[in-house]
């Protein structure tokens, strides 16, 4: 299991006073401010959220020490992490995306289809990306209980009930 969890990603600068757009990956988007300082992926920098407000399709954040547009622009696309111990334990049938990456993807009959390489959210629900066994290409599937009836993080696997013809033989 991942020791740190990605909880947000900085987008573009917002205005001239150092604010940034922020995409939150927490169940409650505003909860991202509750987990203390957010660290960059490489751990070389951390940011404290001083102010946070909702906007149309994202949040707008004022980060400590960022006071002008130029400084805010340098932060674009940074993914922000927190140590797992600062986050609440997921409820039953909830998972941290980081815990799903690398799980074996098995068909309902038990044969291996591939490996989970990413989970995406393009706005209409989570999408599971699976690299097919023995291939370089990937398959995108809706992350629903109908398509993914079993998630066994402790066992290192998920079970997939894919639509016909999605996985190439």
Q: Does one domain contain both 133 and 81?
A: no
* Predicted structure pTM score: 0.77
Question: Into how many domains does the chain fold?
Answer: 2
Domain boundary among 50, 85, 120: 85
| Domain shared by 17 and 71, yes or no | yes
pLDDT band of residue 163 (cuts 50, 70, 90) is confident
Are residue 116 and residue 138 in the same domain, yes or no?
yes
Specify the higher pLDDT residue, 36 or 167: 36
pLDDT at 88: 86
106 and 145 belong to one structural domain: yes
In a shared domain, residues 104 and 131: yes
List Cβ neighbours of 117 (8 Å cut-off, separation of 6 or more): 101, 129, 130, 131, 138
103 and 142 co-located in one domain: yes
Q: Are residue 41 and residue 62 in the same domain, yes or no?
A: yes
pLDDT 10s digits, 48-65: 999 999 998 899 999 999
pLDDT in tens, 81-116: 999 999 888 887 788 888 999 999 999 999 999 999
Q: Percent helix, strand and coil across the chain, each rounded to 5?
A: 10, 40, 45
Radius of gyration of the chain (CA): 18
Tens digits of per-residue pLDDT, 11-29? 999 999 999 999 998 889 9
User: What is the mean predicted confidence (pLDDT) over 31-36?
Assistant: 94
Selected residue with higher pLDDT from 121 and 33: 33
Exposed/middle/buried for residue 40 (C-beta within 10 Å: 0-12, 13-18, 19+): middle
Query: Domain boundary residue among 85, 117, 135?
Result: 85
* CB contact at 8 A, 116 and 128: yes
Domain span including residue 16: 4-85
Query: At residue 1, does pLDDT exceed 70?
Result: no
Range of weakest confidence among 74-78, 124-128, 140-144: 124-128
Average pLDDT of the chain, as a whole number: 92
pLDDT at 93: 79
CATH of the domain at 17: 2.40.30.60
Given this model, what pLDDT does residue 89 score? Answer: 84
Q: Are residues 123 and 155 in the same domain?
A: yes
Beta-bridge partner residues of 38 = 47
Which of residues 34, 64, 85 is at a domain's end? 85
Q: Indicate whether 114 and 79 sit together in one domain.
A: no
């Amino acid at each position: 299991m991942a020791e740190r969890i990605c909880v947000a990603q900085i987008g573009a600068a917002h205005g001239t006073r150092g604010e940034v757009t922020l995409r939150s990956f927490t169940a409650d988007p505003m909860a991202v401010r509750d987990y203390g300082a957010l660290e960059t992926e490489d751990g070389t920098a951390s940011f404290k959220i001083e102010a946070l407000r909702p906007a149309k399709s994202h949040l707008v954040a004022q980060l400590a020490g960022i006071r002008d547009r130029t400084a805010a622009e340098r932060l674009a696309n940074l993914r922000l992490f927190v140590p797992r111990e600062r986050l609440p334990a997921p409820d039953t049938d909830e998972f941290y995306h980081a815990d799903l990456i690398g799980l074996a993807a098995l068909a309902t009959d038990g044969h291996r289809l591939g490996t989970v390489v990413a989970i995406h959210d393009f706005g209409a629900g989570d999408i599971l990306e699976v690299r097919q066994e023995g291939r370089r290409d990937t398959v995108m599937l809706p992350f629903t209980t109908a398509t993914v009836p079993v998630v066994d993080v402790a066992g290192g696997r998920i079970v997939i009930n894919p639509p016909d013809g999605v996985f190439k033989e």
